[in-house]
Structure 1
């Protein structure tokens, strides 16, 4: 039996939101060793969480830990359903993310009920704060590392040095329009610093929090994410309106899925720009 850790990445399909627009495909990553497993991010719709459950069961490994990268519901609202099936697993996050989830759990539950109109699970479970950043799978170290920014902050990644892998949460996107709508120019620069931090780890495998189904989990998505954020940030200052910005970004990244994320990010950026110059 190999003692090398193995990644099993599940990517949900993009789907149409009840009130219009689309939601990006989301990843969950199972890290397995000879006898143990750790899950990174949970999914949020029952059918997708159940696929993750079946993959854990099929692995034959004991799920010890569920690591949540950040406090967006699509990454942690499957916790309750997963723990119903695997009650011995420990749900965890870096301390800042755990505190963020705890502070926002009630408003998140109300928001999810309205935003997804019943298509997403409810969840009352809050991840426990990690006392120290090193976890393990069958004694092999994996590191939970807080980074400056992703689509939101606080946020973290999981670094697995033994296989040169990073499970990046929403710091990295892969073939999907990044969600830039809840951050602004200052946060975009911090996000770029996070991208550079991940690049400096020199990973061979990078699992993006949102990726086009079927896309390879290679390190190429690091440069792709950096280029997208840089191009978007520069074009906000050089476009006449959000429509022009959307057209430009689609010309540069024609194969990126979920145009709704791009449109909302562009509209929000120009609203913020207008307020700044008012």
Structure 2
């Protein structure tokens, strides 16, 4: 009888501990922009009472949707992490910080330096195109001194920390968020990697990702239908390897575009990313 009671008690204790662990587990919400926001994903990581936002979007419209997402979550937005220095990652900060003025904004030292160096040119270029969807001003993140962000009792690890190509790895839920490294179901943004060395460094980041224990991957840029798993990393690796071969064969951007369109016929043939990237890589346009 005692033995039976002990077994029952042990089972109840196990179930109770499992429920507590699940209750304390981090969760997340994704908002993915449309074409006008480069299909960028922001990720709202949720604790029991607090939240951390990864990336702030390009347009005011998408930033307002993130504000609504935070409000619906009923959590306090404590921190915002800007994982890359392109404007689709930070233009929305104006809207979000007006709604949540206590939220602290962080980025790596390299990303902060990149934003400081380029934000005015980006604002000059994109402002007239976005019109009333453009920010009135740009907020510069504070430098993150440690390679992690705390959310309650959990750590969000900043991988590739000493780089402009950082991303967030959450060990407790085996998830990768943020960064510009992963794209799925569309042409990769090549305009910022005009040299072979830069593309090789990018490839190394992706291959290092695959060594992590991961269940979930939210690609930075993706069309609808992404599986949000390791296959998105594999797509990006394959694309980069294919692109490098195409660069060596193509004499100019027109040929490079044609090769990639032939290899990836299901991707957008009018892709701005493909066309601009090819022009930059072939030295026809400065970016």
TM-score (norm 1): 0.87
Counterpart pick for 1:120 among 114, 125, 134: 134
Q: Verify the 8 A CA contact 1:98 1:126 in the aligned structure 2.
A: yes
Q: Verify the 8 A CA contact 2:26 2:45 in the aligned structure 1.
A: yes
Residue 138 (1) aligns with residue 138 (2):
no
CA–CA distance in structure 1, aligned partners of residues 103 and 38 of structure 2 = 27
Q: Structure 2 vs 1, CA of residues 97 and 177 (structure 1 numbering), >3 Å: closer, same or farther?
A: same
Aligned to 2:228: 217
Residue 14 (1) aligns with residue 26 (2):
no
Q: Alpha-carbon deviation of 1:109?
A: 2.7
Q: Secondary structure at the match of 1:53?
A: helix
Aligned to 2:277: 265
Residue 163 (1) aligns with residue 173 (2):
yes
Q: Verify the 8 A CA contact 1:41 1:66 in the aligned structure 2.
A: yes
Aligned to 1:84: 98
Q: Alpha-carbon deviation of 1:37?
A: 0.7
Equivalences, count = 263
Residue 60 (1) aligns with residue 74 (2):
yes
Larger deviation, residues 75-84 vs 197-206 = 197-206
Aligned to 1:172: 182
Runs of 5+ unmatched residues, structure 1? 16-22
Q: Alpha-carbon deviation of 1:115?
A: 4.8
Q: Secondary structure at the match of 1:63?
A: strand
Residue 232 (1) aligns with residue 243 (2):
yes
CA–CA distance in structure 1, aligned partners of residues 117 and 272 of structure 2 = 28
Q: Verify the 8 A CA contact 1:79 1:123 in the aligned structure 2.
A: no
Counterpart pick for 2:218 among 198, 202, 207: 207
Cα-to-partner distance string for 1:105-128 (whole Å, 9 max, x where unaligned): 333332332453454223331111
Q: Verify the 8 A CA contact 1:46 1:120 in the aligned structure 2.
A: yes
Q: CA RMSD in A?
A: 2.2
Cα-to-partner distance string for 1:131-173 (whole Å, 9 max, x where unaligned): 111212221111112367xxxx623101100111111421111
Q: Alpha-carbon deviation of 1:58?
A: 0.6
Equivalent residues in 2 for 1:37-116, closer than 5 Å: 37-116=51-130
Aligned to 1:28: 42
CA–CA distance in structure 2, aligned partners of residues 26 and 34 of structure 1 = 26
Q: Structure 2 vs 1, CA of residues 206 and 169 (structure 1 numbering), >3 Å: closer, same or farther?
A: same
CA–CA distance in structure 1, aligned partners of residues 24 and 90 of structure 2 = 29
CA–CA distance in structure 2, aligned partners of residues 207 and 82 of structure 1 = 21
Aligned to 2:26: 5
Q: Verify the 8 A CA contact 1:24 1:176 in the aligned structure 2.
A: no
Aligned to 2:257: 246
